[in-house]
């Protein structure tokens, strides 16, 4: 990709989002024969645009387990569920919400099932494959390119899918405990640890909020009139 092609794609994306008036998930391709850039799909983006820019979320494993399969990590999350190996569309009827979808690869017509999956594991693909793109959109972890995952993982087996440790996604045997930490960037700016709030830090936060409201002209300026003093 040349700098000019990157800028052209960016221009396409801006025009598409301006047309629809909302964030869009856009797929594109570069033709190997004429080197042309083509938009192949555009649909509303429903995950990243809904996340608050003032909060960071991280998944932290609290133990280790036996690694049954590994590949490329997608989305940075963790999830535990029951393995459901799907080799063709006929197996989709056995899939239950919260199962871990395990397949050689996937096709777009599997998306209704993917929307209820706890995680996705595929034998083939990388971070830009269709399964990875959909996993990011849904906000679920996915391990792509986990060779022979459909052989290493058994139907009905409980596993934990971890994409939170590094660039390698791992599928652990059993339910590996983990915790979710959320960091409020607004509180970080105030020098407050949002994970362990104290009465003093809460008061400090309220004062900061009131001060912000005052600057916006929406809060009383004198103590004792409803503000925090």
| Residues tagged active-site | 130
Residue 85 pairs in a beta bridge with 102
Give the angle 50-100-132 at the CA atoms, nearest 5°.
50
User: With the C-alpha atoms ordered 154, 155, 157, 162, is the resulting torsion angle positive or negative?
Assistant: positive
User: What DSSP line would sit under the chain, residue for residue?
Assistant: --HHHHHHHHHHHHHHHHHHTS-EEEEEEE-TTT--EEEEEEEE--SGGGS-TTEEEEEEESS---EEEEEEEESS-EEEEEEEEESSGGGGGG--TT-EEEES---GGGHHHHTT-SEEEESS--TTSHHHHHHHHHT--EEES-TTHHHHS-TT-EEEEE-SSSSEEEEEES---EEEEEEEHHHHHTT--TTS--HHHHHHHHHHHHHHHHHTT-S-SSTTSSS--
């Amino acid at each position: 990709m040349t700098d000019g092609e990157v800028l052209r794609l960016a221009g396409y994306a801006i025009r598409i989002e301006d047309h629809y008036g909302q964030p869009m998930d856009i797929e594109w391709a570069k033709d190997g024969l004429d080197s042309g850039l083509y938009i192949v799909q555009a649909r509303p983006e429903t995950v990243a645009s809904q996340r608050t820019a003032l909060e960071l979320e991280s998944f932290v494993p609290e133990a280790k387990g036996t690694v049954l399969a590994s590949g490329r990590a997608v989305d940075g999350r963790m999830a535990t569920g029951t393995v459901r190996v799907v080799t063709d569309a006929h197996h989709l009827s056995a899939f239950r919400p919260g199962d871990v979808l395990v397949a050689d690869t996937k096709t777009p017509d599997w998306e209704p099932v993917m929307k209820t999956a706890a995680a996705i594991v595929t034998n083939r693909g990388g971070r830009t494959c269709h399964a990875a793109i959909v996993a990011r959109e849904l906000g679920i972890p996915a391990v792509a390119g986990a060779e022979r995952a459909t052989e290493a993982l058994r139907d009905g087996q409980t596993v934990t899918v971890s994409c939170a440790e590094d660039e390698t996604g791992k599928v652990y045997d059993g339910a590996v405990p983990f915790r979710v930490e959320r960091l409020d960037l607004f509180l970080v700016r105030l020098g407050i640890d949002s994970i362990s709030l104290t009465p003093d830090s809460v008061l400090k936060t309220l004062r900061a909020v009131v001060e912000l409201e005052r600057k916006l002209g929406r809060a009383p300026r004198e103590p004792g009139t409803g503000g925090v003093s």
